[in-house]
Structure 1
Amino acid sequence: MPKRAIDRWPGYLYRGGVIPYDVPECNPLLIDAWEQQMRWGGWTRHDLLTYAERLPKLGIALAIVEVADDLREVYPRLIHPRELVNLELSVRRDVKLYEVAIPRVGTDANGTETAYVWHRRVDKLTIQTWEERSGIAGPRTVVDNPWGFCPAIVEGKAGYVSRLDGLIPMFHELNAKLSDGHDFIGRLNHQTTMVATSASDALTAAVKGSSKQAAAYGEFGARLVDLDAAQDGRQSSNLIPLPPGSQAFPLLSNLGLADALAWVQRLEGDVREALPELTLGRDLSSVRELGVRAVVETFEHDLNTTAANADRGIVKLAQMGAAMMGELLRAGLVPNPTAAHEPFRAFTLDSFDRGEMPMAMRDREVLPPTMLDLATEAQAIERVTTPSGLLHIGYDIEEIYGPPPDGETDEAYAARTRPGILAERQTGASSAGDVLGTLLGQGRV
């Protein structure tokens, strides 16, 4: 169950490995810049899903922004938690310092291919790099940090992850109960049975396979279990005919399997209640739509909570990378810029503070609307004909009346254009009367 819950989570966060941008809330140049960063970094759909998977699976997702040696590219890079040596966060969970140790393979001074560990330590002031070979750290290269911030993000536990962590003891208890129950059933089925009989010689002959002696006792018998064969998952089908008057005594009896089953079913119910998304794997064809939406409501809330956590990391990476490349372009440090660099020219290290880098993602839908849902919604909208009604269901002034003239605010435009509620009703009644009069004049009513 934990594996099912974790494996399906990234697919809900980024369906098909695609970021669901909320385009009206985004700077389109920032979207272009981020998509270019992912291309430079070789990020595929798999990398995006891996980033999303690490939140529930490992409880942490870490990524850094790297600059190519020739300064022509900036790109994000995922860092596995086992490669993280040191990390400091601010109160706002911005990275103040990070140190990573990444295993690599290269050639030494003699041209021999050897394994070593590459270290990088970055804070707001300096960037340090060094190599470690055979446990011995080499000299450090220290340069000033030109960005004024630590280009890395770390996103930790969100609502769903903490909930899954709280269920881990329950999973262990459930597995332990099932394991104990299976072991006991196995012992119960393959146990030794004691037989009390006054004809011990006849019974011994039957056990040893003397069919002539065994047939003398008629059809009364008991199943013979081959214990050696049972170890291989096989069971003998031989019968031991018992002499008349014999009694069999199993050493083990049912010690409460029914009670254990009830306990397991209760634990399973608790798990499904805490993780309602597991129900999505069932056949829900017999459940009404309202019931299905009630089942997934808690899951959808947790999904959007975790999505907000994951999306925040994506937004930070996009903003930092765009600002870094924009600053390199502004300083003329990028050799032979191409069209791929154009979206970055709109940004500098001050763009974030000036509010020039908005980016947001849409809420996820566990149950996307069907064609019938959309048709029903369209019919409902068509029945709303007054400006007051359209405002009430979520349309804004520009969507209703069109854009205001230059220099006029939406509020002033609405006050000048929109009639009062009673006037709207009177207009609606007059329109209906005009239509009825037209139909009467045509002899159609």
Structure 2
Amino acid sequence: MVYLLTVSVLRRIPRELDAAARVSGAGKWQTFRTVYWPLALPGLAGGGLLAFLASLDNFGIPAFLGIPANIPVLSTAIYQEIAGFGPQAFSRAAVLASLLGAAALIGTLFQWLLTKKSQNHETSYEDTAPRFTFGKYRKYAEIIIWSFLFIISIIPLTAMAAASLSPAFGAPFRLDTITFEHYRFLLAGNSQVSGAITNSLTLALITTFAALVIGTTIAYFRVYRPSVFSKSAELSIALPYALPGTVLALALIFTWMQPVPGWNPGVYGSIWILIIAYITRFTILQGRASTTAFMQIGQSMQEAARSSGAGFFSLWRKIMIPLMLAGLAGGAFLVFLSALAELTVSALLWSSGNETIGVMIFQFEQAGYTTHSTAFSSLIVGGMAVIGIGLLLLKKRLEKRGVTA
């Protein structure tokens, strides 16, 4: 998260500032300290905040690894209180959620204080050409990076795939013991699994479409029609993402149990509360992507089109949409994958018949069916990899068309 936000900021820092510092006698490290570091601070702070919130908010990792080892964190403590259904369960969960929300707001305030005095000398153009090389140390840097990638990604995914092909968890992995029985059970013998896949795909598609419409509309007014209303609208869709997922889920439970005293609309306990939660939580991802896409289209290009006689619809059809498609597709892809793999909110809001992929994997693991959970996880990782590769190829094609346009 830190990388994705920081690299974009660094690429937008004009090379002229680097050249001016070098001409004035500054060395590499002094240039980094006096030019790049201050200008990259907003990206670092934004990425650091997201990493902080993601760690604070994460439910899946501490649930799978912490609950069995009796290592509680706030997110799992809230879940266990709600799952306990005691007389004071919701009251205690609300107290824990308040603590979690306060920590998230303190982190957000710290980021604001860190960046409020930062200078902005960025351009709308991303310069992807290298500005620094390792020289003779390149091969050592590559060895370190590939070793790190191998340890954190390749080994765990290989171990998971091997466990999914073993007859039982802990059994030695050998060619003569490989079995696809767990995959057969998931794909052909369990209606709950197929229902969970259908539910997650439906939720992801609805969320992506809603976020595309709402997020892009707010981004348009934020960039081209700035006002108190547009700033407030952006804040309204950003706040639910800044809050931890368990806090948002608990707030939705209290909201939709009885929005009006004595009246239950039937939202809580149905798939509708998941739809509301997903749209509320992930719209900001599309909003930020759409804002970036709008900012990359200069006002001079639009004014040139209008002076040439282009009307509103012609401007959007021939210039705006072709140039924005890559950015919109990237945001939609992020929203889709985030909704498809969501667990934190779903763990508190799911109901019978409305299980999602994340909930089913979690239930398999909780029940001791580790081979089923690893097989299901392997299927999802493979499916998301295929979808990701397809959408990345589509994004590149759209970017090429945008440059041509």
TM-score interval (norm. to shorter): under 0.3
Rg comparison, structure with higher value: 1
Hey, which of these two has a bigger chunk of strand by percent?
Answer: 1
Hey, which of these two has a bigger chunk of helix by percent?
Answer: 2
